[in-house]
Amino acid sequence: MDIEIERCVSRETTLQMMEPHGASLITSRGGWYVTFKTVIETITSGILLVLTAPLILAAMALVKLTSRGPALYPQRRVGQDGRHFTLYKIRSMRHDCERLTGPCWATVRDPRVTPVGRFLRRTHLDELPQLWNVIRGEMSLVGPRPERPEFVSQLERALPNYQGRHAVLPGITGLAQVQLPPDTELNGVKHKLTCDLYYVERMSLGLDLRILLATVTKVVGVPFVASWNLHRVPNLAMIEDSHRHRAAQVQPAYY
């Protein structure tokens, strides 16, 4: 991963993520909605955790019976304001699979994923333990997905304004997750960052509800393109057009 990111640093720095003022446009949302969102999501997560507990326990038992290692997988992630926390998932890969390679992104048809893990990933059941992270105040139901600290320092060098996504709590689902595939290379991360920064600037009850609706339709197998008329979540093309429009309105200053 180091080689791939370093190769793209110069090109990505030139692009400047299409942001006219860089990090100055990335604002942490304040006011009543942040408090409202935290309270509502904490209560909702508690209810969901109780309701899905039998499903979580059944999935953990299946993982334990079919592969070596613990069923619950803790992993360090970077949260709001760059603080580290422990994220919990139901293990979907072979135990200790990064012992020889070190941290690395998952790939399409990743051989490290177990047969049971493939099902858990496809249905997103492996993410359910993160409801506990929401209750603990480390995550939100909706927000930018938290990245591993081993990757963050490299991505901050390669992608201008990457730190801006840390202005809000990370989420179990997000604007990028409902429409883009998992990260496998830097260009995919760039597109997701564009969505994350858009969300940070425009976080609202309406946007959160639409993202949650889009998440539900995705989990049941409806493609984003097919369900867009239902949830009207801003897609990547709309978000990039918004960035370009804002960039065009900014006149460079000469001294």
Q: What is the pLDDT of residues 76-87, one digit of tens each?
A: 999 999 999 999
pLDDT band at 186 (very low <50, low <70, confident <90, very high): confident
- pLDDT score at 16: 43
Q: What is the pLDDT of residues 9-50, one digit of tens each?
A: 433 433 344 443 333 333 444 578 999 999 999 999 999 999
pLDDT at 126 > cutoff 70: yes
d(CA 143, CA 171): 4
Q: Which residues contact 193 (CB under 8 A, 6 or more apart)?
A: 17, 159, 161, 162, 165
pLDDT band at 107 (very low <50, low <70, confident <90, very high): low
- pLDDT score at 95: 77
Note the pTM of the prediction, 2 decimals.
0.81
Q: What share of the chain is helix, strand, coil (3-state, %, to 5)?
A: 60, 10, 35
Which H/E stretch holds residue 62? Answer: helix 32-66
pLDDT at 212 > cutoff 50: yes
pLDDT at 255 > cutoff 50: no
